[in-house]
Amino acid sequence: MGKEAKRNDQKNQLLVDFQNFMSEKYNIDVLRVGPSELAIPAVDDEGNEYFNLLKLSVPRGTRNGEGGYNPYDGYAAADEYKFELEEKAAKKAASEAKKAAAEKAKEAKREAKKVVKELNQKGLKGMIENAE
């Protein structure tokens, strides 16, 4: 049995084990819908039914140009994904800070307009008389 066949057997065993675990633990039917896919029925909080689709693959990696592959590194992929999530969170925080600053500036502008409106209504002469 070759390397790919052994990996395929392990993948299939993982699918069967997951299927059995979900059936026993949550008492749901996990449906095999493809050679590497499982459909898991679910219900949302409003009672609507839908399916989660679980796909399992054994990635080879990327081609190296020499007729082979650079092996897939799950640890590096996890680190990269973590970095992407942190980057997105930082961008979102910066965007929210920018929005808050813009709202604060808008509020200051509204207050300034309110003061100008009061001045126009009372007139500058009336304000000077009230100050004395």
The rounded mean pLDDT for the chain is: 89
Q: Does 23 reside within a domain?
A: yes
Which domain covers residue 19, as residue numbers?
A: 1-58
Burial of 30 (C-beta count, 10 Å sphere; 0-12/13-18/19+): buried
Enter the pTM of the model: 0.60
Q: Does 43 reside within a domain?
A: yes
Q: Does 9 reside within a domain?
A: yes
Query: What is the distance between the alpha carbons of residues 32 and 124, in angstroms, rounded to a whole number?
Result: 81
Q: Does 7 reside within a domain?
A: yes
- 105: which DSSP letter? H
| Number of domains composing the chain | 1
Q: Does 94 reside within a domain?
A: no
In this predicted structure, what is the pLDDT of residue 131?
Answer: 60
Q: Does 12 reside within a domain?
A: yes
Q: Does 127 reside within a domain?
A: no
Q: Does 124 reside within a domain?
A: no
pLDDT digit string, tens, across residues 62-119: 888 888 888 999 999 999 999 999 999 999 999 999 999 999 999 999 988 888 887 7
- Give whole-number Cα distances, 70 to 8, 62, 63, 73, 83, in Å: 19, 5, 6, 9, 22
What count of other Cβ atoms lies within 10 Å of the Cβ of residue 11? 15
